[in-house]
Amino acid sequence: MTDSHAGYVLGLADDALISAQRMGWWISRAPQLEEDVALANIGLDQLGQARTLLAHAGALEGDGRSEDDLAYLRDERDFRNVKLVERPQTDFAVTMARLLVFATWQAELYAALAGSTDATLAGVAGKAVKEVAYHVDHARQWVLRLGDGTDESHRRMQAAVDAEWPFVEELFRPVDPALVAAGVAADPTVLRAAVLRRVGQVLDEATLSVPDVAPAVAGGRDGLHTEHLGFLLAEMQHLTRSHPEASW
Amino acid sequence: MRDWPLWEVFVRSRRGLSHVHVGSLHAPDAEMALRNARDLYTRRQEGVSLWVVPAAEIVASSPDEADAFFDPAADKIYRHPTFYDVPEGVEHL
């Protein structure tokens, strides 16, 4: 069970890490300076969660790998994040649609994990609950304004939701039942109902519709990613790999 | 988005103190202004309460009026409590 325990934590860590990297992409590119700072704040919250989770995954794994080793020295196939977070953001609306889903999922996940029998996981989750509550709120505010805004903002917001929706289902992929039974992991089926209900409410309020689309092929948790993750990692890892042990 | 209005931001640093003006920001509406204020002005634990006010709603004194408004107070030293001697034996003043 130790392997699946470490793997479970690593998956959650990678979700937060890759999402943080995507959020950081907005720095200097956001539509307003105010939004620039807001997205950077959200990314840094996620990075903080990722760091603690990566360190914990390394400890559970028992091979002496640090959070930096895991973040910077793994290759694409060794990452365990869902595909939802790794894809490029072609529009601000895409980032907001994705953040609404991802942060709502994290909110339900961390609320459940705050009572985990894994004390470290419970500690991270307990702290992160307040952070992600704000992320959900931020995404909700924008989805409401863009969805129920002008014709163009509505069209682009709906297009963004449509583009993200096939990747939602992977968040609820089953985890090792032994981990759920032991009180370590959260039950994905319970999370699924709560997340879809909450996201559906926001979309409805924003005059957007829930897409009726088939889920994309999963595989992120097994290291099978889209072609985009490699480029993201190249940018994220290149400094550390070019200058090992560098510090400043 | 260039026409987002300007908002003035006031932060109460802790309970018991008053809200103090800290700066301004742009936001499309009041709700977003409050959130932007949270992100821009309280990210280092600067406050426990926020006000945002549409900058256009603030009526300000004009620098042109400064002479008439403020200078006459300069020689009214009797408006300061320190102008008065406290009589001996007066307690609780």
Task: Say which CATH number the domain at A208 has.
Answer: 1.20.1260.10
User: B88 pLDDT exceeds 90?
Assistant: no
**DSSP-derived secondary structure letter, A105:** H
Structural domain for A55, as ranges? 2-242
Among chain A residues, the shortest Cα distance to B26 is held by: A34
A116 located within any domain: yes
User: A237 pLDDT exceeds 90?
Assistant: yes
So what's the pLDDT on residue A155?
98
CA torsion angle for A45, B23, A32, B46 (degrees, to 10)?
0
So what's the pLDDT on residue B1?
53
Report residue A246's pLDDT band, with 50, 70 and 90 as the boundaries: confident
A59 located within any domain: yes
Chain segment A153-211, per-residue pLDDT in tens: 999 999 999 999 999 999 999 999 999 999 999 999 999 999 999 999 999 999 999 99
At A39 the three-state DSSP class reads helix
Q: B45 and chain A: CB distance < 8 Å anywhere?
A: no
So what's the pLDDT on residue B85?
87
A248 located within any domain: no
Among chain B residues, the shortest Cα distance to A142 is held by: B32
- Torsion sign across C-alpha atoms A183, A186, A189, A193: positive
Q: For residue A61, give the amino acid letter.
A: E
Chain segment A127-158, per-residue pLDDT in tens: 999 999 999 999 999 999 999 999 999 999 99
Q: Whole-angstrom Cα distance, residue B30 to residue B70?
A: 34
Rounded to the nearest integer, the mean pLDDT of chain A is: 96
Query: Which structure tokens are listed for A148?
Result: 């129920």
At B52 the three-state DSSP class reads strand
Does A38 contact B43 at a Cβ distance shorter than 8 Å? no
Give the number of domains in chain A.
1
Q: Whole-angstrom Cα distance, residue B25 to residue A176?
A: 48
A62 located within any domain: yes
- Closest CB to B26 among A34, A134, A137: A34
Q: Whole-angstrom Cα distance, residue B31 to residue B74?
A: 42
Query: Which structure tokens are listed for B18?
Result: 């008053």
Residues in chain A within 8 Å Cβ distance of B3: none
User: A55 pLDDT exceeds 60?
Assistant: yes
Q: In chain B, what are the domain boundaries? A: 6-83
CA torsion angle for A62, A68, A72, A78 (degrees, to 10)?
20
User: A73 pLDDT exceeds 90?
Assistant: yes
Residues in chain B within 8 Å Cβ distance of A34: 25-27, 36, 39-40
A247 located within any domain: no
So what's the pLDDT on residue A1?
53
Closest CA to A112 of A190, A174, A186: A186
Query: Which structure tokens are listed for A156?
Result: 């682009």
Q: Whole-angstrom Cα distance, residue A135 to residue A24?
A: 14
Distances B69 to A35, A59, A175 between C-alpha atoms, Å? 40, 68, 72
So what's the pLDDT on residue B2?
63
Q: Which CATH superfamily is domain B6-83 in?
A: Phenylacetic acid degradation B (3.10.20.520)
Query: Which structure tokens are listed for B24?
Result: 């301004």
Q: A141 and chain B: CB distance < 8 Å anywhere?
A: yes
ipTM over 0.85: no
Matching residue, tokens 């289902």: A169
Q: How many CB pairs under 8 A join A and B?
A: 29
User: A219 pLDDT exceeds 80?
Assistant: yes
Report residue A217's pLDDT band, with 50, 70 and 90 as the boundaries: very high
Among chain B residues, the shortest Cα distance to A31 is held by: B1
